[in-house]
Amino acid sequence: MKYTIDKRQVNIPDSDIQHLCSKYNLTQEEAIRTWLVDEGYLTDETVEELTNRAKNNRITATIHQARSAQEKEKKARPKKEQPEKEMIIKELADFLPKFAENVTISNAAKVIEFQIGENFYKLDLILHRKPKN
């Protein structure tokens, strides 16, 4: 729907007007005015007054502070002992120097890095969990 306001033509989506009419039981004129106020084409004294009150009372600041206070602090998780994986990584690291260079254990229970010729490799050991019943 095209609507003219202050010698300016505004295109208002019909779906928005129908939505406002059905959702809030408004007439078509009321829905058009509401849409124009929401989109900033018109000003409404009531809306301006309520906005100023909220800014003066710092309501939004209080709400945001409450949300950040509710967030839990992240606790450091203790590192799980994985002797099987550490043993596998150690055995592989002992075996690799037979044909590889620069063998390094990046993570004692997970990663080995090495070089063969000009190529660099990285072995990542992954333990799959048992499926739940």
With a cut of 60, say whether residue 21 has pLDDT above it. yes
Residues 52 and 94 in one domain: no
Q: Does any domain span residue 92?
A: yes
Nearest to 122 by CA among 79, 93, 99: 93
Q: Does any domain span residue 52?
A: yes
Q: In percent, how much of the chain has pLDDT > 90?
A: 38
Task: Please state whether beta strands 119-124 and 111-116 pair in parallel, antiparallel, or not at all (unpaired).
Answer: antiparallel
Q: What is the pLDDT of residues 58-112, one digit of tens each?
A: 766 666 666 555 566 778 888 888 999 999 999 999 999 999 999 999 998 999 9
Residues 63 and 17 in one domain: yes
For residue 40, name the pLDDT band (cuts at 50, 70, 90). Answer: confident
The last residue of a domain, from among 27, 49, 70: 70
State CA 32 to chain mean position distance.
Answer: 35
Give me the sign of the Cα torsion angle 80, 85, 91, 94: negative
pLDDT of residue 72: 64
Residues 17 and 57 in one domain: yes
Q: Does any domain span residue 130?
A: no
Instruction: Round to whole Å and give the CA distance between 54 and 56.
Output: 5
Domain count, the chain: 2
Higher pLDDT, 52 or 57: 52
Q: Does any domain span residue 78?
A: no
For residue 118, name the pLDDT band (cuts at 50, 70, 90). Answer: very high
Average confidence (pLDDT) over 36-63: 80
The last residue of a domain, from among 70, 91, 110: 70
pLDDT of residue 59: 67
Q: Does any domain span residue 132?
A: no
Question: Which residue range is the domain that position 102 belongs to?
Answer: 83-124
